[in-house]
Amino acid sequence: MATYIQIDPTQKLEPFKSVKKLPLEEYFTSGHRTCQGCESALVMKMMAKAAGPRSIILGSTGCMYVANTTYYSTSWVVPWMHTQLGSSGSAALGTSAALKVLMRKGKIKNEPINVIAFCGDGGGADMGVGAISATLTHAEYNSLILMYDNESYANTDIQLSGSTPWGANTTFSSPGKMKRIMHRRWKKNMAGMMAAGHPECKYVATICMSYGLHGMNSIRKALAIGGPTFIHSLDPCPKGWDYDPYLSHEMGELAVNSGVWPLYEVENGVLRLTGRTEQIAAGKIRRVPVRDYLLKQGRFAHFTNDDIDYFQSKVDDMWEKWLIPGVIPFRKDVEADPPPAN
C-alpha cells in the first residue's frame, strides 16, 4: 500500500529500568521560582531528563512560564521558547514543521530532535484545546504536548478552569452565605477526549509524578513513537489546593488510589490501564474513599457530607458505569446494550 504519511525518525528512548538507572544530567535546573512543594516543577524536571539534551521545549503561558524563566535566570538547559496561552499545539506543530523542512532541504543537520510543548490546564483544556486537537491530526509532525494540570489558573490567583474538580473553592468560585457550591461543572476529560477524537495520534497517556518512573517512561514512549502525542499529568498544587507542601507526593498517590485520577495509556490505539489503576481495575487493591483525598485539601473544606457523597458517586460512576472504567464516559447498560462479543 502507498505511504501517505512521512514520519521522520525519532530518538531511540528505551524505558528507564529503575530510579537508580536515571542519568544524572539535569536539563531543568536552578533559577526557577516555583512554590515549595510544586509538583509541576517536578514534572518539568522529569520531562527534560526523560527527553535529554537534543530537545526543543516550548512553554505556553502559565506557572511553568512565569515562575521558571525570569529574564537572566532561566532554569532551562535545553533551548526553550515561550508560546501564547492557547498555543501549545501550534508551537509544537510549527517547530516540528520547521525542523522537518530544514532537514529535508539540507539547511540544518539531519538528526532526530525532540519537540515538546507544555501547557497548563488553562492553556490546554480551556483556551488551547482547539490547537492541540488540530496538531494531533497532523500525523507527519513529531511532537509531544504535555498538559500539566494543577486544576486551576494557579499563576494568576487560583481561578477555576475547565479542569478544576467539582465544587472546589477557587477565587472565581469562592463559597458564600447563600451558595456553597459555586463551581458546578465536572472536570473535563482531556486525555480521553484526545485519545477518542484523534485516531492518527499514536500515544495518549495520563501520568502523575508521584509515580516518577512511570511518568518519565510515558514521556519517553510518547517521544519515541513518532507523530504527535499527548500526555495529561495531574499535578498537586499546595497553593491552589491548599495543603501543606510536604504532602504533595501523598496527594498525587491519593488522587490515583481513590480512583479520581486513573492512569492509562493508549498506544497505537490499544488501551492499557497502568500502575495502581490497573491493580484497582483488576480488583487487586480497593479504591480509597474520595473523602480521604478531598478533606486533606482546603479547597474542599466547605464540603458537607452530601457534597462528599455526590463526589464519591460521580467517581463510582466512572468506575462502574463507564464502558471503559475511568477513560471514556460512554455508559454501559449491559441488559439493553450488551458489549460486542469477542
List 6, 12, 71, 335, residue binding other proteins (CB under 8 A): 71
Q: Of 147, 169, 170, which Cα lies nearest the Cα of 64?
A: 147
List 44, 45, 64, 89, residue binding other proteins (CB under 8 A): 89
List 21, 105, 184, 284, residue binding other proteins (CB under 8 A): 105
Nearest residue (CB) to other proteins, 119 versus 207: 119
- Under the binding rule (CB under 8 A), the answer on residue 5 touching other proteins is no
Q: How far is the CB of 87 from other proteins (least distance, A)?
A: 4
- Under the binding rule (CB under 8 A), the answer on residue 40 touching other proteins is no
Nearest residue (CB) to other proteins, 31 versus 289: 31
- Under the binding rule (CB under 8 A), the answer on residue 11 touching other proteins is no
Rounded-to-integer distance, Cα 342 and Cα 161, Å: 40
Nearest residue (CB) to other proteins, 41 versus 56: 56
Q: What is the residue type of 267?
A: E
Q: Which residues pair with 337 in a beta bridge?
A: 333
Rounded-to-integer distance, Cα 77 and Cα 30, Å: 10
- Under the binding rule (CB under 8 A), the answer on residue 199 touching other proteins is no
Report CA 23 to chain centroid distance, whole Å.
23
- Under the binding rule (CB under 8 A), the answer on residue 32 touching other proteins is no
Are residues 42 and 67 in contact, defined by beta-carbon separation less than 8 angstroms? no
Rounded-to-integer distance, Cα 189 and Cα 208, Å: 15
List 42, 46, 50, 99, residue binding other proteins (CB under 8 A): 99
The stretch among 106-114, 160-168, 210-218, 256-264 that binds other proteins (CB under 8 A) is 106-114
Q: Which residue has the cell 540544518?
A: 108
List 34, 95, 210, 248, residue binding other proteins (CB under 8 A): 95
Rounded-to-integer distance, Cα 260 and Cα 161, Å: 17
C-alpha cell at 58: 516550548
Sequence-distant contacts of 297-302: CB under 8 A, at least 24 apart:
297/241, 297/242, 297/243, 297/251, 298/169, 298/241, 298/242, 298/243, 299/168, 299/169, 299/170, 299/240, 299/241, 299/242, 300/167, 300/168, 300/169, 301/169, 301/242, 302/169, 302/175, 302/180
Sign of CA dihedral 88, 67, 215, 319: negative
Q: How far is the CB of 46 from other proteins (least distance, A)?
A: 19
- Under the binding rule (CB under 8 A), the answer on residue 98 touching other proteins is yes
List 23, 53, 197, 269, residue binding other proteins (CB under 8 A): 53
The count of chain residues that interact with other proteins, using the rule CB under 8 A, is 45
Sign of CA dihedral 324, 208, 185, 201: negative
Nearest residue (CB) to other proteins, 65 versus 303: 65
Q: Which residue has the cell 454501559?
A: 332
Nearest residue (CB) to other proteins, 52 versus 329: 52
x/- contact string, 112-151, with other proteins (CB under 8 A)? -x----------------xx-xx---x-------------
The stretch among 13-21, 88-96, 173-181, 250-258 that binds other proteins (CB under 8 A) is 88-96
The stretch among 41-49, 68-76, 246-254, 293-301 that binds other proteins (CB under 8 A) is 68-76
Rounded-to-integer distance, Cα 116 and Cα 75, Å: 16
Contact residues toward other proteins (CB under 8 A) are: 53-56, 58, 65-66, 69-72, 74, 76-84, 86-87, 89-91, 93-95, 97-102, 104-105, 107-108, 113, 130-131, 133-134, 138
